[in-house]
């Protein structure tokens, strides 16, 4: 697994993949638990559920004093798939996590610059990060269904806390709609009460996508969603991504050049000049052009396999 360790300074925690998965689940559970009370008594402003376009302006990302990503400016268009590519350690996942304020969940992490979701700077002081994460959903590298919950409970986890007054029938309708949206309903409709952790790896990843879309986000972030899957499951996820972009803006991190070429509309290439230096955005453009006529020699060398 090429995980967050590649995007962190050497002093960061480099424990096992299992610990990383637990941390992701803990972060999700904490956000869900906070959501119901997120804006009470502290003046936090909700982000309107209308934004779809990201404008990243002069963003610098840090882990403590370590400068992880330097001076990134980019536009992520609505209802398109944008792939972030580049060698390990260049800041792709760190950049992805900054788009829904998950970067700052790491102790000591900080952000400079603006991340605009339409006209809203998600890092403005009175914007609630939990509200941002409801609007900008995240699908992690390793499938991470809540192990003590059934298939249906996993999908409805956000609804249960976000809408405490929702009826059982309404919740069941959302669960079915989300599972259908994730191309999973026909496979699990007869075992909704069984543990989500009992599904196959590809099914678990689609379950996590269903959980993400159940709360009706506008954007989906995917951190190497196929890295732990076999080729058949990978193609199923890619087909799903193609279908989902009609309803969501999608940003995906991938090390698979073929996947970026197949599944994305735009590609952003990140690179690292040297160990200890921050990652940077080399260039961004339509995927076909990036893979056939890139504007920078660095990009050509990477997509052609000369390095990375």
pLDDT at 163: 59
SS3 content of the chain, % helix, strand, coil (to 5): 40, 25, 40
pLDDT at 201: 94
All domains of the chain in start order, with CATH: 55-303 (3.40.50.300)
Dump strand ranges (E) for the chain.
54-63, 66-76, 81-85, 109-117, 120-121, 136-139, 219-223, 249-253, 266-272, 279-286
CA dihedral 95, 120, 35, 140 (to 10 degrees): -20
Structure tokens at 175: 């669960």
Residues in the chain: 308
Coil vs helix vs strand at 9: coil
Residue 56 phi, psi dihedral angles, 5° rounding: -95, 125
Instruction: Give the pLDDT of the chain (308 residues) as one tens digit per residue.
Output: 444 434 444 434 333 334 444 455 555 555 544 444 443 433 444 444 444 899 999 999 999 999 999 999 999 999 999 999 999 999 999 999 999 999 999 999 999 999 999 989 999 999 999 889 989 999 999 999 999 999 999 999 988 666 556 788 999 999 999 999 999 999 999 999 999 999 999 999 999 999 999 999 999 999 999 998 999 999 999 999 999 999 999 999 999 999 999 999 999 999 998 878 999 999 999 999 999 999 999 999 999 887 65
Residue 252 and residue 5: Cα distance in Å, rounded? 18
Residue 96 and residue 221: Cα distance in Å, rounded? 7
Element counts in the chain: helices (H) and strands (E): 12, 10
Residue 45 and residue 275: Cα distance in Å, rounded? 40
Helix H, strand E, coil C: the string for 61-94 is EEECCEEEEEEEEEEECCCCEEEEECCCCCCHHH
């Amino acid at each position: 697994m090429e995980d967050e360790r590649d995007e962190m300074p050497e002093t960061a925690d480099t424990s096992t993949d299992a610990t990383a998965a637990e941390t992701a689940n803990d972060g999700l559970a904490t956000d869900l638990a906070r959501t119901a009370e997120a804006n009470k008594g502290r003046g936090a402003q909700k982000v309107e559920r209308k934004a779809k376009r990201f404008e990243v302006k002069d963003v610098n990302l840090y882990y403590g004093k370590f400068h992880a990503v330097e001076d990134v400016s980019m536009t992520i268009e609505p209802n398109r798939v944008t792939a972030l590519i580049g060698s390990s350690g260049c800041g792709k996942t760190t950049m992805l996590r900054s788009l829904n304020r998950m970067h700052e969940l790491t102790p000591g992490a900080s952000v400079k610059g603006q991340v605009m979701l339409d006209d809203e700077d998600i890092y403005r002081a009175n914007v609630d990060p939990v509200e941002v994460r409801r609007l900008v959903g995240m699908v992690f590298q390793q499938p991470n269904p809540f192990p003590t919950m059934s298939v249906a409970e996993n999908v409805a986890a956000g609804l249960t806390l976000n809408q405490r007054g929702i009826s059982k029938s309404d919740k069941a309708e959302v669960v079915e709609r989300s599972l259908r949206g994730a191309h999973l309903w026909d496979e699990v409709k007869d075992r909704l009460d069984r543990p989500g952790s009992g599904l196959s790896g590809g099914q678990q990843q689609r379950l996590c996508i269903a959980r993400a879309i159940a709360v009706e986000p506008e954007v989906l972030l995917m951190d190497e969603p196929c890295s732990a899957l076999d080729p058949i499951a990978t193609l199923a996820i890619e087909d799903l991504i193609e279908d989902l972009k009609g309803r969501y803006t999608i940003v995906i991190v991938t090390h698979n050049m073929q996947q970026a070429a197949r599944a994305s509309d735009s590609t952003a290439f990140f690179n690292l000049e040297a160990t200890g230096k921050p990652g940077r955005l080399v260039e961004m453009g339509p995927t076909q052009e990036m893979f056939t006529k890139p504007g920078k020699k660095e990009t050509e060398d990477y997509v052609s396999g000369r390095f990375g």
